[in-house]
Amino acid sequence: MVFRQAITAGLLPSSDVLSQVLGCLRFPHDSSLKTTFIDNMGISCDMPHHPNTNSLLEGFGEYDIRAFSVLEEGGLLGAVASTSTKYSQIVIDARKSNIYTAEVSLLSTLKSLKHRLAAGARLPNVTILLPTEKKQVDLDEREKTLKLAGRVGQAVGSLLRRLGIKYQGEESHGRMRINGLTLRRWFNPKFTSAPSTGAPVELLPLPSRLAKGIADQQRDIRSLSL
């Protein structure tokens, strides 16, 4: 990668350059691509409107996993601020970040929390600080200042909605909060019943799913022959 060659040569990337590199590692927003990722994992979700499976994917279906190492290197070089996940309250300060840097910072935090959950640790709340914009408007012949969500805030909010993570607060207020219990549930999606039929839903490795399908077909054939 040209980025890594530049670092090896002693060139320090700016925050803008780092964000551009991360943007090159971003996946297009295509549902068929997500389906391909799930199939490649050998997982079949047998339901028409399946629950969110983003937490099961590397990079959460949004970025190539190399984006995490690029962001880490950028943090070590001082190109971007690093977010610590060691404390009981995690704060992601994206007020001076570019869009792609803010997105990968959030995903990198989720990746770290996923490992903490796997180790049996309790997940803390996550607060995201976002830049806002001010706009002067005339209301009832009086000038009033409104706070609007900036591009970074809009991007982070859209990312959370795509991932299916519920949050408190609004982008225009410059602060969003994700509850630790919400994250715990998101990392462990439950597959209980199909919305329309009430039939059991299964998230099985593909070989097991195929074997079950063959067994079901054989049972149906035997019942018809009786």
Q: What is the 3-state secondary structure (H, E, C) of 90-128?
A: EEEECCCCCHHHHHHHHHHHHHHHHHHHHCCCCCCEEEE
- Domain regions of the chain by residue span: 2-195
Whether the CB-CB separation of 103 and 62 falls below 8 Å is answered with yes
Residue 197's pLDDT is: 45
Predicted pLDDT at 38 = 59
Q: Tell me what pLDDT residue 200 has.
A: 45
CA distance 84 to 100: 19
Contact 133, 149 (CB under 8 A): yes
**Cα–Cα separations (whole angstroms), residue 144 to 137, 139, 140, 141, 170:** 5, 7, 10, 10, 20
In the chain the first and final C-alpha atoms are separated, in Å, by 64
| Closest CA relative to residue 171, chosen from 159, 156, 189, 184 | 156
What pLDDT, on the 0 to 100 scale, is given for residue 145?
83
The per-residue pLDDT for 126 is 96
Q: What is the pLDDT of residue 86?
A: 77
Classify the phi-psi angles of 215: left when phi > 0, otherwise alpha if psi is within -120 to 50, otherwise beta: alpha
Alpha helices in 164-198 (DSSP H): 180-187
Element of type H or E holding 138: strand 132-139
Q: What is the CA radius of gyration of the chain?
A: 22
27-41: pLDDT as tens digits = 988 766 666 665 665
Q: Which residues contact 217 (CB under 8 A, 6 or more apart)?
A: none
Q: Supply the pLDDT for residue 195.
A: 46
Q: Which long-range contacts (CB under 8 A, 24 or more apart) does 88-94 make?
A: 88/124, 89/124, 89/125, 89/127, 90/124, 90/125, 90/126, 90/127, 91/126, 91/127, 91/128, 91/129, 92/126, 92/127, 92/128, 92/129, 93/129, 94/128, 94/129, 94/130, 94/131, 94/152, 94/156
Q: Quote the pLDDT of residue 7.
A: 75
Low-confidence stretches of the chain (pLDDT beneath 50) = 46-49, 51, 192-202, 205-206, 209
Please write the tens of the pLDDT for every residue from 52-64.
678 888 889 899 9
pLDDT for 167 equals 96
Contact 60, 163 (CB under 8 A): yes
